[in-house]
Structure 1
Amino acid sequence: MTEKRTEPTNDQIGRVIRRRRKALGKTLEQVAGEAELTVGFISQVERGICAPSFSSFMRIASSLNTSMEQLLNVRETFEIHTKAKDRESYSLGEAGRWYEKLGPGFSGALFYPCIIHRPPGQVSERMKHRGEVFCYLAEGELEYHIGDKVYNLVAGDSIHHDTSEEHFSTVVSDTETTELWVSSHPIAGH
C-alpha cells in the first residue's frame, strides 16, 4: 500500500464540521440529536478540543448530509475493486490511530468497511447508536466492552453485535492492533 495518509488536525476537523453545520443552518442540538451524540461532545469537536472516532464522525457527517471523505477532502471513489496500492488512508486526531478506506464500493452502500490501526493503550469512545458492527482482529489484543460484558479478543478473533447497547474497546497489547471493521452506514433521520 502506498502511504497517502491524510492527517488533519483536531482544529481542521472542527472547523470543517462547524462550517458545514452553519451552512446547513443546523444547531448543535440538531446535529447532536441526529448523530446520537451529546451537544457537549459536538461542541468540543467543533472547537478542536477532541476528535471524533470513526463511528462518531460517520454519524456527524451523515447528520450534515455528507460523507467523512468529503469533510476531510479524502478522495471518494466508488470502485467495486480496490487495489491495496490505491487504498486511501487517513487519521482522525489521535496520534497513532489511522484508517484504511476499503469502501464503499458503490453509492448508497449499506455497509462501510475499513481497517483501523490503533496504538497500545488506546481507548475508543463509549458509543451507543442504531446499526451493527463486525470486527475481525488481525493483529494485537483488544478488551471489548458491550454493556456489562467484557470480551478479550486476540489475533484471529471476531465480534459482531447490535450497536444499540453501549460499547467501547481498549488496546491491551504492547503492539499496534490491525482491525478489520464493517459497520452499517448511518442514515440521518432513520
Structure 2
Amino acid sequence: MELEYVNEHIGRKIKDLRNQNGLTQQELADRTELTKGFISQLERGQVSPSVGTLLDLIECLGTTASDFFKETEEEQIVFSENGFFEKVDDVGNQIQWIVPTAQKYQMEPLLVTIAPHQRLDEDKPHSGEEFGYLISGRVKLHLGEKVYQVKAGNSFYYPAKEKHWIENPGSRPAKFIWVSTPPNF
C-alpha cells in the first residue's frame, strides 16, 4: 500500500470522526496540543502523523486504534445471475436464491418456477410473512383451508401462520418472485 494512499485514508477517517464528534479543526488541535494547520494537512493526506500523535488523535476522537483501523467490507448491493444458487427438484420445479447472502438479512427473495401440473412442498406454519409476484403463468395459493387463484401480474401477501403451498394447475411453467421474512428456505 502506498504511503500517499495510507495518508489520505488516515486523513479521511480523522476528518470523518472529527465531524461526527462535532469538532472544528481548531478544537481538535487544542485537545491534542497540535496546530490547526497540522490537522488540516493531516485530513488532506499531506502529512504523516507519528504513531504517538495518531494514537492521541484517535483517543481524543473517542475511539480505539483497533476500531479506527478496522476495515468494513462494503455490502454487496447488486447481484447477478452468475451468483444465484439454484435447486431443481425431481419434477422440474426450480428455486433460485437471487440474493445468495440473504440468510443474514430479514428477507429472502427467491425466483421460483413451478413446472406444469406440479406443486411445491407444503410449508408448516411459521413466524413471519410471505410475498409473491407472479411473472408468468398462473398458480393456486393454498393458505390454510382457503385457495386463491393468482395470475400473471398479480401479487400475494400473507402472514405464514397457517400451512401453505403453491401449485401450478396450468400446462405452462409458472414463474414468480417469492419473498419470505424471516428467511426460512
Instruction: Pick one of 117, 120, 127 that aligns with 1:121.
Output: 117
Change (3 A) 1:99 1:106: closer
Deviant stretches of 4+, over 3 Å: 104-107
Q: Distance in 2 between matches of 1:107 and 1:114?
A: 12
Tell me, yes or no, if structure 1 residue 147 matches structure 2 residue 144.
Answer: yes
Ranges in structure 2 where 5+ consecutive residues have no aligned partner: 1-74
Two-structure CA RMSD over aligned residues (Å): 2.1
Q: Deviations over 1:27-60 (max 9, x none)?
A: xxxxxxxxxxxxxxxxxxxxxxxxxxxxxxxxxx
Alignment match, 1:10:
none
Query: What CA deviation, in whole Å up to 9, does each residue of 1:134-180 have, x standing for no partner?
Result: 01010111011111221100101111100011111210121011110
Give the Cα separation in 1 of the matches to 2:172 and 2:88. Answer: 19
- Say how many residue pairs are matched: 109
Check whether the contact 1:132–1:162 (CA below 8 A) recurs between aligned residues. yes
Of residues 68, 77, 81, the one that matches 1:80 is 77
Identity among equivalent pairs (%) = 25
DSSP-derived class of the 1:130 partner = coil
Counterpart selection for 2:104 from 103, 108, 115: 108
Alpha-carbon distance in structure 2 between the residues aligned to 1:186 and 1:112:
5
2:91 and 2:164 map into 1 onto residues whose CA distance is 22
Q: Are 2:98 and 1:98 aligned?
A: no
Q: Which residue identity does 1:90 align to in structure 2?
A: E
**Higher RCO (CA < 8 A, seq sep 6+):** 1
1:173 partnered with 2:137: no
In the alignment, structure 1 segments of 5+ residues that lack a partner are: 1-77
Larger radius of gyration: 2
